[in-house]
Amino acid sequence: MAKMHRPKWTSIIVGPALAALTAIGSVEAADCPRSDALGTSRVLSVDAKTTPRVGLKSFPQTLPLADHEVVLTFDDGPRPPMTSKVLAALAQECVRATFFLVGRSAAEYPDLVKRIAREGHTIGHHTWSHPYMARIPADAAKYEIDRGIASDEMALHGVSTTTPSTPFFRFPYFEQTQAQLDLLQSRGIVVFGADLWASDWNDMTPEQELKLVTERLAAAGKGIILFHDPQARTAAMMPAFLRYLRENGFHVVHLVPAVTSQKNANAH
Protein backbone atom coordinates (compact mmCIF):
# COMPACT_ATOMS: atom_id res chain seq x y z
CA MET A 1 0.00 0.00 0.00
CA ALA A 2 1.29 3.44 -0.86
CA LYS A 3 1.97 5.86 1.95
CA MET A 4 -1.09 7.95 2.81
CA HIS A 5 -0.70 11.70 2.94
CA ARG A 6 -2.22 13.81 5.67
CA PRO A 7 -5.78 14.93 5.03
CA LYS A 8 -5.28 18.43 6.34
CA TRP A 9 -6.53 20.84 3.69
CA THR A 10 -3.54 22.98 2.82
CA SER A 11 -3.60 25.91 0.44
CA ILE A 12 -0.77 25.55 -2.03
CA ILE A 13 -1.87 28.09 -4.56
CA VAL A 14 -0.56 28.87 -8.02
CA GLY A 15 -0.72 32.52 -9.06
CA PRO A 16 -2.51 35.37 -7.30
CA ALA A 17 -5.36 33.27 -5.96
CA LEU A 18 -5.00 33.72 -2.21
CA ALA A 19 -7.62 36.46 -2.35
CA ALA A 20 -9.83 34.21 -4.44
CA LEU A 21 -10.21 31.90 -1.48
CA THR A 22 -11.43 34.78 0.61
CA ALA A 23 -13.95 35.63 -2.10
CA ILE A 24 -15.41 32.12 -2.07
CA GLY A 25 -17.23 32.00 1.21
CA SER A 26 -18.01 28.31 1.00
CA VAL A 27 -14.36 27.33 1.26
CA GLU A 28 -13.27 26.77 4.81
CA ALA A 29 -9.77 25.51 5.54
CA ALA A 30 -10.92 23.18 8.28
CA ASP A 31 -9.00 20.11 9.34
CA CYS A 32 -10.50 16.80 8.38
CA PRO A 33 -11.99 14.95 11.37
CA ARG A 34 -10.72 11.60 10.05
CA SER A 35 -7.00 11.09 10.37
CA ASP A 36 -7.00 8.33 7.74
CA ALA A 37 -9.02 10.20 5.11
CA LEU A 38 -7.80 10.95 1.60
CA GLY A 39 -8.13 14.70 2.04
CA THR A 40 -7.55 17.52 -0.42
CA SER A 41 -3.82 18.09 -0.85
CA ARG A 42 -3.73 21.53 -2.43
CA VAL A 43 -5.69 24.30 -4.08
CA LEU A 44 -4.94 25.26 -7.67
CA SER A 45 -6.00 28.64 -9.02
CA VAL A 46 -7.09 28.58 -12.67
CA ASP A 47 -6.66 31.79 -14.65
CA ALA A 48 -8.59 32.33 -17.89
CA LYS A 49 -5.77 34.52 -19.20
CA THR A 50 -3.13 31.82 -19.05
CA THR A 51 -5.29 28.69 -19.35
CA PRO A 52 -8.50 29.61 -21.22
CA ARG A 53 -9.11 25.95 -22.17
CA VAL A 54 -7.93 22.79 -20.43
CA GLY A 55 -8.39 19.05 -20.85
CA LEU A 56 -6.47 16.82 -23.22
CA LYS A 57 -9.57 15.07 -24.55
CA SER A 58 -10.54 18.34 -26.24
CA PHE A 59 -7.57 20.72 -26.19
CA PRO A 60 -3.77 20.62 -26.57
CA GLN A 61 -3.16 21.67 -22.97
CA THR A 62 -4.36 20.81 -19.49
CA LEU A 63 -3.78 21.88 -15.90
CA PRO A 64 -0.25 21.80 -14.44
CA LEU A 65 -0.71 18.68 -12.33
CA ALA A 66 2.11 16.64 -10.87
CA ASP A 67 2.27 12.87 -11.18
CA HIS A 68 -0.48 11.21 -9.10
CA GLU A 69 -2.47 14.44 -8.83
CA VAL A 70 -6.14 14.36 -9.85
CA VAL A 71 -8.98 16.84 -10.17
CA LEU A 72 -12.45 15.41 -9.61
CA THR A 73 -15.23 16.94 -11.72
CA PHE A 74 -18.93 16.09 -11.90
CA ASP A 75 -21.37 17.05 -14.67
CA ASP A 76 -25.15 17.25 -15.15
CA GLY A 77 -26.29 17.82 -11.57
CA PRO A 78 -27.71 18.56 -9.22
CA ARG A 79 -30.06 15.61 -9.06
CA PRO A 80 -31.29 13.99 -5.83
CA PRO A 81 -30.71 11.52 -4.40
CA MET A 82 -27.55 10.71 -6.37
CA THR A 83 -25.80 14.08 -5.98
CA SER A 84 -26.37 13.82 -2.22
CA LYS A 85 -24.76 10.37 -2.17
CA VAL A 86 -21.74 11.67 -4.09
CA LEU A 87 -21.44 14.60 -1.67
CA ALA A 88 -21.56 12.21 1.27
CA ALA A 89 -18.75 10.10 -0.19
CA LEU A 90 -16.61 13.19 -0.80
CA ALA A 91 -17.29 14.48 2.71
CA GLN A 92 -16.32 11.14 4.24
CA GLU A 93 -12.87 11.47 2.64
CA CYS A 94 -12.62 15.28 3.08
CA VAL A 95 -12.28 15.76 -0.66
CA ARG A 96 -13.21 18.86 -2.68
CA ALA A 97 -14.43 18.65 -6.27
CA THR A 98 -15.86 20.82 -9.05
CA PHE A 99 -19.50 20.44 -10.10
CA PHE A 100 -20.61 21.68 -13.54
CA LEU A 101 -24.33 22.29 -13.08
CA VAL A 102 -27.12 22.22 -15.62
CA GLY A 103 -29.12 25.41 -15.07
CA ARG A 104 -32.50 23.74 -15.35
CA SER A 105 -31.58 21.30 -12.57
CA ALA A 106 -30.08 24.07 -10.44
CA ALA A 107 -33.36 25.98 -10.71
CA GLU A 108 -35.26 22.87 -9.66
CA TYR A 109 -33.02 22.00 -6.71
CA PRO A 110 -31.56 25.24 -5.33
CA ASP A 111 -31.07 23.81 -1.84
CA LEU A 112 -28.82 21.12 -3.28
CA VAL A 113 -26.81 23.77 -5.15
CA LYS A 114 -26.32 25.62 -1.88
CA ARG A 115 -25.26 22.40 -0.18
CA ILE A 116 -22.61 21.74 -2.83
CA ALA A 117 -21.14 25.18 -2.20
CA ARG A 118 -21.55 25.00 1.57
CA GLU A 119 -19.52 21.80 1.67
CA GLY A 120 -16.63 23.58 -0.01
CA HIS A 121 -16.92 22.44 -3.62
CA THR A 122 -16.49 24.67 -6.65
CA ILE A 123 -19.51 25.31 -8.86
CA GLY A 124 -19.07 25.64 -12.62
CA HIS A 125 -21.61 25.88 -15.42
CA HIS A 126 -22.90 23.42 -18.03
CA THR A 127 -25.61 25.32 -20.02
CA TRP A 128 -29.33 25.60 -19.28
CA SER A 129 -30.67 22.41 -20.87
CA HIS A 130 -27.63 20.36 -22.00
CA PRO A 131 -27.99 20.62 -25.82
CA TYR A 132 -25.51 19.76 -28.53
CA MET A 133 -24.10 23.27 -28.72
CA ALA A 134 -22.46 22.98 -32.15
CA ARG A 135 -25.79 22.02 -33.72
CA ILE A 136 -27.86 25.05 -32.69
CA PRO A 137 -27.80 28.68 -33.91
CA ALA A 138 -25.36 31.13 -32.36
CA ASP A 139 -28.07 33.09 -30.56
CA ALA A 140 -29.55 29.89 -29.12
CA ALA A 141 -26.11 28.81 -27.90
CA LYS A 142 -25.54 32.16 -26.22
CA TYR A 143 -28.95 31.86 -24.58
CA GLU A 144 -28.01 28.39 -23.26
CA ILE A 145 -24.79 29.74 -21.77
CA ASP A 146 -26.34 32.85 -20.25
CA ARG A 147 -29.52 31.27 -18.90
CA GLY A 148 -27.53 28.39 -17.45
CA ILE A 149 -25.17 30.74 -15.62
CA ALA A 150 -28.05 32.95 -14.44
CA SER A 151 -29.96 29.95 -13.10
CA ASP A 152 -26.93 28.61 -11.24
CA GLU A 153 -26.23 32.04 -9.74
CA MET A 154 -29.87 32.47 -8.71
CA ALA A 155 -29.83 29.10 -6.97
CA LEU A 156 -26.52 29.85 -5.30
CA HIS A 157 -26.75 33.55 -4.42
CA GLY A 158 -30.34 34.60 -5.11
CA VAL A 159 -29.26 36.93 -7.92
CA SER A 160 -29.92 36.24 -11.60
CA THR A 161 -26.78 37.36 -13.38
CA THR A 162 -24.88 36.19 -16.45
CA THR A 163 -21.62 37.09 -14.72
CA PRO A 164 -20.52 33.82 -13.08
CA SER A 165 -19.09 34.01 -9.57
CA THR A 166 -16.87 31.12 -10.65
CA PRO A 167 -16.02 31.53 -14.37
CA PHE A 168 -15.69 27.82 -15.16
CA PHE A 169 -17.71 26.24 -18.00
CA ARG A 170 -17.93 22.84 -19.65
CA PHE A 171 -19.71 22.16 -22.93
CA PRO A 172 -22.21 19.28 -22.98
CA TYR A 173 -20.80 16.32 -24.89
CA PHE A 174 -17.56 18.35 -25.26
CA GLU A 175 -19.12 19.78 -28.41
CA GLN A 176 -18.46 23.42 -29.24
CA THR A 177 -17.69 25.83 -32.07
CA GLN A 178 -14.71 28.13 -32.33
CA ALA A 179 -17.02 31.13 -32.07
CA GLN A 180 -18.41 29.79 -28.78
CA LEU A 181 -14.90 29.22 -27.45
CA ASP A 182 -13.92 32.75 -28.45
CA LEU A 183 -17.03 34.17 -26.77
CA LEU A 184 -16.26 32.51 -23.47
CA GLN A 185 -12.59 33.48 -23.65
CA SER A 186 -13.59 37.13 -24.23
CA ARG A 187 -15.67 36.94 -21.06
CA GLY A 188 -12.84 35.52 -18.98
CA ILE A 189 -14.49 32.11 -18.59
CA VAL A 190 -12.30 28.99 -18.52
CA VAL A 191 -13.55 26.13 -20.69
CA PHE A 192 -12.97 22.69 -19.20
CA GLY A 193 -12.56 19.48 -21.09
CA ALA A 194 -11.20 16.42 -19.29
CA ASP A 195 -8.07 14.28 -19.37
CA LEU A 196 -9.92 11.02 -18.76
CA TRP A 197 -13.41 9.88 -17.91
CA ALA A 198 -15.34 7.04 -16.36
CA SER A 199 -17.71 6.58 -19.33
CA ASP A 200 -20.46 6.45 -16.71
CA TRP A 201 -23.10 7.34 -19.28
CA ASN A 202 -22.79 3.75 -20.54
CA ASP A 203 -24.73 0.88 -19.03
CA MET A 204 -22.44 -0.91 -16.58
CA THR A 205 -22.28 -1.96 -12.95
CA PRO A 206 -20.54 0.19 -10.33
CA GLU A 207 -17.82 -2.47 -10.16
CA GLN A 208 -17.27 -2.27 -13.92
CA GLU A 209 -17.09 1.51 -13.76
CA LEU A 210 -14.57 1.35 -10.93
CA LYS A 211 -12.38 -1.06 -12.89
CA LEU A 212 -12.58 1.07 -16.02
CA VAL A 213 -11.75 4.42 -14.44
CA THR A 214 -8.97 3.06 -12.20
CA GLU A 215 -7.32 1.35 -15.17
CA ARG A 216 -7.48 4.57 -17.16
CA LEU A 217 -6.10 6.57 -14.26
CA ALA A 218 -3.28 4.09 -13.68
CA ALA A 219 -2.33 4.46 -17.34
CA ALA A 220 -2.55 8.27 -17.36
CA GLY A 221 -0.94 8.78 -13.96
CA LYS A 222 -2.79 12.05 -13.29
CA GLY A 223 -5.44 14.35 -14.72
CA ILE A 224 -8.87 15.96 -14.71
CA ILE A 225 -11.41 13.15 -14.30
CA LEU A 226 -15.00 13.43 -15.52
CA PHE A 227 -17.90 11.82 -13.66
CA HIS A 228 -21.66 12.46 -13.69
CA ASP A 229 -23.13 12.83 -10.22
CA PRO A 230 -26.75 12.02 -11.30
CA GLN A 231 -25.61 8.53 -12.35
CA ALA A 232 -26.56 5.88 -9.78
CA ARG A 233 -23.55 3.73 -10.72
CA THR A 234 -21.18 6.62 -10.06
CA ALA A 235 -22.76 7.44 -6.71
CA ALA A 236 -22.49 3.77 -5.74
CA MET A 237 -18.84 3.37 -6.72
CA MET A 238 -17.53 6.71 -5.42
CA PRO A 239 -16.53 5.51 -1.92
CA ALA A 240 -14.51 2.67 -3.44
CA PHE A 241 -12.92 5.00 -5.99
CA LEU A 242 -11.82 7.42 -3.28
CA ARG A 243 -10.36 4.49 -1.32
CA TYR A 244 -8.46 3.50 -4.44
CA LEU A 245 -6.98 6.99 -4.66
CA ARG A 246 -5.96 6.93 -1.00
CA GLU A 247 -4.44 3.46 -1.14
CA ASN A 248 -2.49 4.14 -4.33
CA GLY A 249 -0.86 7.42 -3.41
CA PHE A 250 -3.01 9.82 -5.42
CA HIS A 251 -3.55 13.41 -4.30
CA VAL A 252 -6.70 15.44 -4.91
CA VAL A 253 -6.35 19.02 -6.17
CA HIS A 254 -9.18 21.50 -5.62
CA LEU A 255 -9.77 24.19 -8.26
CA VAL A 256 -10.66 27.82 -7.63
CA PRO A 257 -10.75 30.77 -10.03
CA ALA A 258 -7.88 33.23 -10.10
CA VAL A 259 -8.57 36.81 -9.11
CA THR A 260 -7.83 37.94 -12.66
CA SER A 261 -10.44 35.52 -14.01
CA GLN A 262 -13.03 36.99 -11.69
CA LYS A 263 -12.14 40.53 -12.68
CA ASN A 264 -12.41 39.70 -16.36
CA ALA A 265 -15.79 38.08 -15.80
CA ASN A 266 -17.05 41.05 -13.80
CA ALA A 267 -16.20 43.35 -16.69
CA HIS A 268 -18.96 41.79 -18.79
* Catalytic residue ranges: 75, 228
Q: Rounded to an integer, what distance in angstroms lies between the CA atom of residue 25 and that of residue 249? A: 30
Q: Which residues are CB-neighbours of 178 under 8 A, at least 6 positions away?
A: none
Residue 35: count of CB within 10 angstroms of its CB: 11
Q: Rounded to an integer, what distance in angstroms lies between the CA atom of residue 268 and that of residue 260? A: 13
Q: Which residues are CB-neighbours of 208 under 8 A, at least 6 positions away?
A: none
Q: Rounded to an integer, what distance in angstroms lies between the CA atom of residue 25 and that of residue 118? A: 8
Classify residue 73 by its DSSP letter. E
